[in-house]
Amino acid sequence: MRFRGLQLGVVLLALVGSQPTAWASSDAGSCPWGVLRCPLQGVPFLDVDNDTNDNLLRLVSAGKHFTLPVYAFPLDASTVRNVHFGYHYDEPESPVGDPVAPQDAALAALKNQLAALGIPGQTLNVPGPGELDTRFVSNSISSTVSFITALQAESSLSPEQRKALAQIRLALLAEGGAVDGDDHVDSAAWPPDSAAGAFYRYLSAARAFYYGNYSVALNTFSQLAENPQKWVAQAASYMLIRTKLNMSAQYAEDEYDMFDARNVNQGMVREARELAQSYLATWPDGEYRDSAVGLLRRIAWYLQDWSVLGPQYESALTHATDAASLKTLVAETDSKFLSRDLYGYGYNNDFVSDARMPLLTFIQFLRLLREFERTDSSGPKITADSLKTLQLLFNQAGEQPWGDYLHTAWLYWQRQDYPAVLAAVTPQAQVSDDDLPGFSQQVLYGYAQVALKQWPQALAHWKGLLEHTQNGERKAFLEAQVAAAEVEQQKVGDIFAAGSPVTNLRYRSLVLKTLASRELLHQQVSSGMNDDERTIALHTLLMRDLMAQDYSAWLADISLQNHIAHPAGGEDFSDVSLAQFSWDGKGAETGYYCQPLQATVQALAKSPAGSHNLNCLGEFIRTAGAQINTWPESGGNAGLDTAVEHQKPVTQPDRMALYRLVINNPNSEPEDKSFALYRAVMCYAPSGYNDCGGQDLSKAQRRQWFNQLHRDYPGNIWAKQLRYYW
């Protein structure tokens, strides 16, 4: 392991610079990583800009064939627009189905136990998922089940004793995280030298522990650790570790009363370490083995013993047995070790590499390839020589593909030598779902072609990969690459051609709304892949007609809605509701009468300069929120968003242009010109920013219009209402 000023084992890297730097994860957002309803946000390859947690979880999960906690990307995404690679702010459900939650399974087991003990039908007052934290986390349903299981296995207990002890444990469970210090039971009823007495004393010590009376808990657990009742002895030995750790942290607070691991009582922490090691030696396969191993990691963290903590995490990650525990472990690894300098503890993070930790070394080097790390002069840098040494490390660990990918990633991100990337990678169309480094290599190969603007080659590469994947997440990613390449070449029509591999409605909708020509929109209204797409195309077409002031075209196109059997609607498609164009005019500003939209457009088709109808068209846009709204499709589109932005699309109608036509028309009626002046100034109310689309106007222009309204139309209703300009 390498630290600044400290080297253990072989020097693995040639480093440029030696000062510590903040190696941030890329998950700055409002959905904390690891929360059940917050799935992975990154793209499905080892992108250096993915959250470190994501890359670590993806890499380990691929090798273990674990299901990733991502939103289910359907292979057929032709009817949905809400599956993407960004944050999911409004999805309350878990991204990965769990048919029986652990809490539910434990509760069912507890009810069965109580029925067997003659406590049927009892209304259980139990803490819900997520309600318990700190030391109370073990005052849970599952630990209660474990206790009652031990009662059932102890043959020396009478039925009455089992029932009474179970009820005492249930009372403790019901108190959740608010345990008081009173046993509420006469201890004289439990003979001290019996198994029943041992179970009772264990519960008494547990109550003292949860209450925070650690000295009493420590004394009782110490006595029980030698008890002949095996379950009690093992559980007490385990609780000794936790009690000692909690004692060590009683006064570990900083100046803001926040926990600071640097302020723990390190003598007590070392005693806890001895207790944990003793437990594992005595019960190597004990009931609390995994928890004791986890406590050893906490102990190493408290002691800031990074050379011990790192290999512990490496071992735990590589031996994870299920996806749920792996996700928790990944979050712990990042916060306590990989990103420990970011969590307010003031720790320097000098870990770069260690032959004992090939996995964490690989993940750390991905972080070093981020732009901030590449450009920060004070941080360590990856060199060609260090890559050679790393390759040997990964080869010895049986992970040659990791070294191969790091070399390609270094060429792509740090050297930006795109021809070298193409030379280093052999293109393959078919890559196993479990071969994450291999797929990542192919992605960088395609990215290098894109960087070199080798569009035909890049398209062929992406399409080849897309043709052979049966993974919904990869399919969504690759479709985005195909669509982005077509957009960059300004071949938007190819996305909608017969046989196009881009069937993802989110991507097609984004392109239709932003870049489709009038001809292409007409095509998709009549031959879109489904009614949802035809609705999107028609709504966009009608808005484009109005934005182009092509009123005759709008009148012709509005009739096309009759050819869509089932127009898209509901909340999921509210942005393209064709009902918007049935505006009846009643929503216009009070005091300014407008006809329904259809009549307004008919009048404009006959007289495009008609001031009153231009104002009413502006009122439709303002009050109906009429626009080409790309919010439902924007973000998380794996490069397609950037490709679209390169074309500088216009999606907001220009109300200001309508008002200026009225203002500049010498034949405008006073009521229409005064209203246009009023609304033109109000475009900037109250923020001072243009809310009407089109080109921004100077404050001097807005002041001129304000003065013109009050000078030319004194006493007018709009002049009275407009008391300020912005």
pLDDT digits (tens, 9 = 90+) for 278-293: 999 999 999 999 999 9
Helices (H), 252-347: 266-282, 289-302, 306-318, 323-333
CA distance 648 to 262: 52
> pLDDT category, 55, cuts 50, 70, 90?
very high
Per-residue model confidence (pLDDT) at position 711: 97
CA atoms of 645 and 537, how far apart (whole Å)? 19
| pLDDT value at residue 6 | 27
How does residue 575 score in pLDDT terms, banded at 50, 70 and 90? very high
Both structure tokens of 563: 């050819």
Looking at residue 69, what is its pLDDT? 78
Sign for the CA dihedral angle at 30, 35, 39, 40 comes to positive
Mean pLDDT of 571-596: 96
- What is the average pLDDT across 460-465? 98
pLDDT for res 192:
85
pLDDT of residue 129: 60
Q: Quick check: 40 pLDDT over 90?
A: no
Q: Is 567 exposed, middle or buried (0-12, 13-18, 19+ CB in 10 A)?
A: middle
pLDDT of residue 177: 67
**Whether the Cβ atoms of residue 305 and residue 336 lie closer than 8 Å to each other:** no
Work out the widest C-alpha separation in the chain, in whole angstroms: 107
Which position has the token pair 């609390």?
288
pLDDT number for residue 123 = 64
Q: Beta strand 2-3 with 6-7: parallel, antiparallel or unpaired?
A: antiparallel
Q: Does pLDDT of 435 surpass 60?
A: yes
- Residue 21 to residue 480: CA distance in whole angstroms: 34
Q: What is the mean pLDDT of residues 426-444?
A: 97
Closest Cα to residue 511, out of 530, 483, 481, 544?
A: 483
Predicted confidence band at 491 (pLDDT cuts at 50, 70, 90)?
A: very high
Instruction: Determine whether 327 is exposed, middle or buried from the number of CB atoms within 10 Å of its CB (0-12, 13-18, 19+).
Output: buried
Q: How far apart are CA 451 and CA 542, in angstroms?
A: 36
7: helix, strand or coil: strand
Q: Which letter does DSSP use for residue 321 in this model?
A: -
Q: Confidence band (pLDDT; 50, 70, 90) for 1?
A: very low
DSSP 8-state code for residue 222: H
pLDDT in tens, 242-259: 999 999 999 888 888 888
pTM of the model: 0.87
Which pLDDT band holds residue 37 (cuts at 50, 70, 90)?
Answer: low
Q: Is the pLDDT of residue 680 over 60?
A: yes
CA gap 401, 394 in Å, rounded: 8
> Any idea what the Cα angle at residue 278 is, between residues 277 and 279, rounded to 5°?
90
314 vs 309: CA distance, rounded Å: 9
Using the Cα atoms of residue 256, residue 261, residue 267 and residue 272 in order, give the sign of their dihedral: positive
Instruction: Say if CB 299 and CB 273 are below 8 A apart.
Output: yes
* Chain Cα centroid distance, residue 676: 45
- The DSSP bridge partners found for residue 233 are none
pLDDT reading at 221 higher than 60: yes
For residues 369 and 362, give the distance between their C-alpha atoms in angstroms, rounded to a whole number.
11
Report, as an integer, the average pLDDT of 73-78.
92
